[in-house]
């Protein structure tokens, strides 16, 4: 065998935070591709790839004191090493490690390649759980030590657990991170300005980066996490602050000074009195509208709490002063329903409600457009898409956005006319806990509607399983006999065909029930054309259809007070908040309503627990918190939803205090230097522009 000549070592590179990971010792261009799958291109990415958790393997014991329970670490010398082949052909590896007090066996499944590393005579640190029965450690973490123990990466310390991918081992990741830290930790630009760091007594960024990966002890880890979480929250709050400053600049909106006469007239046509929360929300909005800065207000109210009428009363202020109002619904069905409801209350007071949908005839659309261009003060109801792109509203003063959490800056800009921004009122039934409001909606003002209108019938929620379907049908037939109506919701397993099939077979199953023979069962699903959907909704409203089988197209906003029974099949497939939304489709009239969640055959214990949670509370806020606890903030509360990058370390449940501090700091910085032009804010400006470009478009564009 000939030894190939070693290529001469490349000259050592000067590395900086934007150097590619391939230049790290032990990585190279090929392995670098594996890192890229984790989004790690540069050394800064690598040092920002924080561990998911840390294993505490920092308890060193002599071999004689080994005991089961918890991670223990032994330092010793390898006295025997053997690669073994099992009958099944797996290559295992076993060693013994000796210290002054005794000998420990270690066994590594399927890792015969370790024979190259763990040779007899090697000094080694092993960390693992001691199995007293077999008197050994199974697959322990280990590290070969040459010098002192302070340099340990893989054992005998708080061992970081990083997110990995194929081709990047835990050990490979740790040493790459260690090399990157050595090369650039102190060069990473700190986005927290020096004055903020000083005021909050923050440790240096480089120290925090080192300590988050390889903390000396738990206290160091906690301190580093806090420092880096602060940085995340600070950036997020800077985005909110800057955006808020631009969006609410004086003079960027029309001040609407209505007398309130039109509002009073509409109130007289209402068949009910507003609740105190509704009144307060209307007052909040009227106050915002009277100022020359654009309103950006979120009305959060549980399903059925009566947000629509709040929006209508807000609209009266714009109409009274001769302006136009856009009311944007998420779907055409809802747009039409809103148009009908609003017209019922608004027309008697002399407000004209115009509705526009994708299926409106071209002639009607042209006529409406002409009237809008002529400046007529109309309340126009339509879908987001239509009102944003298709229709020009030169006198638009107020945009009402129904059931969408975030109305983006971009959308506002499209509605804006020559730099004058419309006031925006967002209605949502999704309860958003306080810390999340601050973190993700920090640039919005919030009005809460907590109490449900009085005079609503009782609501009962039951959780059951498929075996009880006959009883459910029997109950349904009694409700129908009493003149009520029912929804049956099936999950959209997949978009498209599967969804259709699930809904279709449910429809057939119900139609086949002798007890339901006298009743009409209708079907509503996502693949229907909008006029077909509308025809079905109309028939349901007119009580020509008694039972409506639907996929979740009915989820938000549908208002049929005569419907008193909601049956949800395979309920475990829905999120708690979604189920709560569905439940909100009933209980809108004076009659008692019942909601039945049927768990599917494949329901897990956790799934069952979630359904039990929803059966025991009707408070949407409590449910949102329970959902968060059970599922974690990732999915439904994800920053993704708000178009913002993910928080890696900050935890909005535990870090409220830190959030408040970051918020105050961001407020201070934005006030002093709103364009972030000062030298000490350069890193912050650059990072924000890179990471948060879209949400900041308007704020830092100049």
Site residues, ligand ADP (CB under 6 A): 272, 274-275, 278, 301, 303-309, 429, 453, 455, 557, 559, 561, 588
**517 to 576, contacts with Mg ion by CB under 5 A?**
557
Cβ-proximal residue to ligand ADP, closest one: 306
Number of residues this chain uses to bind Mg ion (CB under 5 A)? 1
For ligand ADP, the closer of residues 109 and 272 by Cβ is 272
Please name the residues in contact with 678: beta carbons below 8 A apart, sequence gap of 6 or more.
none
Q: Helix, strand, or coil here: 83?
A: strand
- Which of ligand ADP, Mg ion, none binds 579 (CB below 5-8 Å, type-dependent)? none
Q: Which does 73 bind (CB under 5 to 8 A by kind): ligand ADP, Mg ion, none?
A: none
The one-character DSSP state at 351 is -
Shortest distance in whole angstroms from residue 251 CB to ligand ADP: 33
Q: Is the Cβ of residue 34 or residue 305 nearer to ligand ADP in the bound state?
A: 305
Minimum CB distance to ligand ADP, residue 385 (Å) = 21
Closest residue to Mg ion using C-beta atoms: 557
The minimum distance between CB 203 and ligand ADP, in angstroms, equals 47
Closer to ligand ADP by CB, 278 or 357: give it.
278
Contact call for residues 547 and 480 (beta carbons, < 8 A): yes
Rounded Cα distance, 4 and 506, in Å: 71
Separation between Cα atoms, residue 263 and residue 317, nearest integer Å = 7
Q: How far is residue 516's CA from residue 603's CA, in Å, rounded to a whole number?
A: 28
In the bound state with ligand ADP, the residue whose beta carbon lies nearer, of 559 and 655, is: 559
Label residues 572-584 b or e (16+ Cβ within 10 Å = b).
Answer: bbbbbbbbbbbbb
CB of 344 to ligand ADP, least distance (A): 9
Shorter beta-carbon distance to ligand ADP: residue 17 or 306: 306
Rounded-to-integer distance, Cα 230 and Cα 660, Å: 10
559 binds, among Mg ion, ligand ADP, none (CB under 5 to 8 A by kind): ligand ADP
Binding partner selected for residue 377 from ligand ADP, Mg ion, none, CB under the kind-specific 5 to 8 Å limit? none
Secondary structure string (H, E, C) spanning 365-414? HHHHHHHHHCCCCCEEEEEHHHHHHHCCCCCEEEEEEECCCCCCHHHHHH
Pick what 75 binds: ligand ADP, Mg ion, none; C-beta below 5 to 8 Å, kind-dependent: none
Residue nearer to ligand ADP on the CB measure, 211 or 312: 312
3 state DSSP class of 447: strand
**Residue of 402, 282, 274 lying closest to 339 (CA atoms):** 402
Closer CB to Mg ion, 299 or 662, in the complex: 299
- What span, in angstroms and rounded, lies between the C-alpha atoms of 45 and 63? 40
The entry of ligand ADP, Mg ion, none that residue 304 binds, CB within 5 to 8 Å by partner kind = ligand ADP
Find the shortest distance in angstroms from Cβ 314 to ligand ADP.
Answer: 13
- Find tokens 């109409």 and name the residue: 319
Provide, rounded to whole angstroms, the least separation between the CB of residue 317 and ligand ADP. Answer: 18
Using alpha carbons, select from 298, 230, 295, 236 the residue that is nearest to residue 670: 236
Question: Taking the alpha carbons of 559, 562, 565, 569 in that order, is the dihedral positive or negative?
Answer: negative
Burial class (CB within 10 angstroms; exposed 0-12, middle 13-18, buried 19+) of 5: exposed
Out of ligand ADP, Mg ion, none, what residue 156 binds, judged by CB under 5 to 8 A for its kind, is none
Contact 433, 628 (CB under 8 A): yes
| Residue 7 partner contact from Mg ion, ligand ADP, none using kind-dependent CB cut-offs of 5 to 8 Å | none
Residue 274, contacted partner among ligand ADP, Mg ion, none, CB below 5-8 A by kind: ligand ADP
Q: Which is nearer to ligand ADP, 561 or 674 (CB)?
A: 561
CB of residue 304 vs Mg ion: minimum separation in angstroms? 8
A 10 A CB-CB count for 323 gives 24
**H-run or E-run covering 475:** helix 469-481
Residue 358 binding result from Mg ion, ligand ADP, none, given CB thresholds of 5 to 8 Å by partner type = none
Contact 225, 651 (CB under 8 A): no
Q: How far is the CB of 623 from ligand ADP (least distance, A)?
A: 15
Beta carbon of residue 536, minimum distance to ligand ADP (angstroms, whole number): 19
Query: With respect to ligand ADP, which residue has the nearer C-beta, 128 or 587?
Result: 587
Q: Which does 303 bind (CB under 5 to 8 A by kind): Mg ion, ligand ADP, none?
A: ligand ADP
Residues 6+ apart with CB under 8 A from 478: none
Q: What's the min distance (Å) between Cβ of 308 and Mg ion?
A: 5
Residue 588 contact among Mg ion, ligand ADP, none, beta carbon within 5 to 8 Å by kind:
ligand ADP
Distance CA 620, CA 609 (A): 17
Nearest CB to Mg ion, comparing residues 57 and 312: 312
CA dihedral 72→176→17→683, nearest 10 degrees, is -30
Least distance between ligand ADP and beta carbon 137 (Å): 59
Q: Which residues pair with 426 in a beta bridge?
A: 298, 401
Closest approach of ligand ADP to the CB of residue 520, in Å: 23
Which of residues 55 and 270 has its CB atom nearest to ligand ADP in the complex? 270
Task: For ligand ADP, give the closer residue by CB, 211 or 311.
Answer: 311
Q: What ranges in 527-655 are assigned the alpha helix state H? A: 530-541, 576-583, 605-616, 620-631, 634-637
CA distance 355 to 502: 33
Nearer to ligand ADP, 253 or 548 (CB): 548
305 binds, among Mg ion, ligand ADP, none (CB under 5 to 8 A by kind): ligand ADP
Instruction: Identify what 172 binds: ligand ADP, Mg ion, none; CB under 5 to 8 Å per kind.
Output: none
Measure the CA angle with vertex 165, ends 162 and 170; round to 5°. Answer: 40
Cβ proximity to Mg ion, 557 vs 587, nearer residue: 557
Question: Considering the complex, what minimum distance in angstroms separates the CB of residue 423 from ligand ADP?
Answer: 19
Minimum Å gap between C-beta 463 and ligand ADP is: 23
Q: Alpha-carbon distance 566 to 463, whole Å?
A: 12
CA 458 to CA 399: how far, in whole Å? 35
* C-alpha distances in Å from residue 302, one per residue of 218, 559, 622: 42, 14, 11
**Ranges within 32-71 binding Mg ion (CB under 5 A):** none
Residues of this chain that interact with Mg ion (CB under 5 A) are: 557
């Amino acid at each position: 065998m000939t030894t190939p000549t070693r290529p001469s070592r490349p000259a050592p590179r000067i590395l900086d935070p934007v150097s590619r990971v391939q230049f790290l010792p032990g990585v190279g261009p090929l392995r670098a591709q594996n890192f890229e799958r984790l989004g790690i291109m540069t050394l800064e990415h690598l040092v920002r790839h924080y561990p998911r958790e840390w294993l505490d393997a920092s308890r060193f014991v002599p071999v004689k004191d080994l005991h089961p329970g918890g991670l223990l670490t032994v330092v010793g010398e390898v006295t025997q090493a053997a690669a073994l082949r099992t009958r099944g052909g797996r290559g295992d590896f076993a060693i013994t490690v000796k210290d002054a007090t005794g000998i420990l066996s270690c066994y590594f499944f399927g890792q015969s390649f370790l024979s190259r590393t763990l040779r007899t005579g090697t000094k080694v640190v092993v960390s693992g759980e001691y199995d007293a029965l077999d008197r050994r450690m199974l697959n322990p973490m280990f590290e070969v030590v040459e010098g002192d123990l302070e340099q340990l990466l893989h054992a005998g310390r708080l061992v970081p657990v990083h997110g990995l991918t194929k081709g990047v081992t835990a050990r490979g990741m740790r040493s790459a991170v260690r090399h990157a830290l050595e090369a650039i930790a102190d060069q990473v630009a700190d986005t927290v300005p020096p004055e903020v760091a000083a005021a909050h007594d923050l440790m240096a960024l480089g120290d925090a980066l080192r300590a988050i990966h390889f903390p000396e002890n738990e206290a160091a880890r906690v301190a580093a996490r806090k420092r880096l979480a602060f940085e995340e929250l600070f950036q997020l709050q800077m985005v909110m602050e800057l955006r808020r400053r631009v969006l609410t600049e004086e003079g960027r909106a029309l001040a609407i000074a209505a007398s309130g006469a039109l509002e009073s007239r509409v109130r007289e046509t209402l068949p009910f009195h507003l609740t105190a929360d509704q009144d307060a929300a209307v007052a909040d909005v009227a106050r915002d509208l009277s100022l020359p800065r654009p309103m950006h207000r979120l009305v959060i109210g549980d399903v059925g709490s009566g947000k629509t009428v709040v929006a209508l009363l807000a609209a009266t202020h714009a109409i009274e002063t001769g302006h136009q109002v856009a009311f944007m619904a998420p779907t055409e069905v809802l747009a039409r329903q809103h148009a009908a409801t609003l017209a019922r209350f608004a027309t008697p007071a002399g407000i004209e409600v115009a509705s526009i949908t994708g299926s409106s005839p071209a002639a009607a659309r042209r006529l409406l457009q002409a009237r809008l261009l002529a400046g007529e003060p109309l309340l126009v109801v339509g879908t987001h898409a239509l009102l944003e792109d298709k229709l020009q509203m030169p006198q638009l003063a107020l945009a009402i956005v129904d059931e969408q959490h975030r109305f983006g800056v971009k959308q506002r800009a499209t509605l804006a006319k020559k730099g004058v921004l419309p006031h925006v009122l967002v209605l949502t039934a999704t309860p958003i806990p306080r810390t999340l409001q601050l973190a993700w909606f920090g640039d919005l003002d919030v009005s809460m509607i907590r109490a449900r209108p009085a005079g609503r019938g009782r609501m009962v929620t039951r959780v059951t399983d498929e075996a009880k379907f006959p009883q459910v049908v029997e109950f349904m037939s009694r409700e129908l006999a009493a003149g009520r109506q029912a929804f049956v919701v099936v999950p959209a397993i997949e978009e498209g065909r599967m969804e259709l099939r699930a809904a279709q077979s449910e429809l057939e199953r119900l139609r086949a029930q002798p007890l339901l023979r006298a009743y009409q069962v209708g079907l509503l699903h996502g693949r229907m054309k909008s006029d077909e959907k509308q025809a079905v909704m109309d028939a349901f409203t007119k009580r020509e259809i008694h039972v409506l089988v639907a996929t979740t197209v009915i989820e938000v906003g549908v208002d049929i007070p005569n419907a008193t029974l909601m049956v949800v099949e395979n309920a475990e497939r829905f999120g708690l908040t979604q189920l709560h939304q569905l439940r909100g489709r009933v209980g809108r009239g004076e009659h008692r309503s019942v909601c039945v969640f049927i768990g599917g055959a494949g329901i897990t214990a956790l799934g069952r627990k979630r359904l039990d949670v929803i059966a025991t509370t009707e408070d949407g806020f409590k449910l949102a918190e329970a959902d968060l606890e059970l599922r974690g903030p990732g999915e439904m509360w994800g920053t993704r939803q708000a178009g913002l990058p993910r928080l890696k370390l900050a935890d909005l449940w535990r870090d409220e205090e830190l959030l408040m501090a970051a918020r105050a700091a961001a407020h201070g910085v934005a006030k002093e230097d709103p364009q972030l032009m000062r030298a000490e804010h350069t890193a912050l400006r650059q990072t924000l522009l890179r990471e948060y470009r879209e949400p900041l478009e308007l704020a830092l564009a100049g």
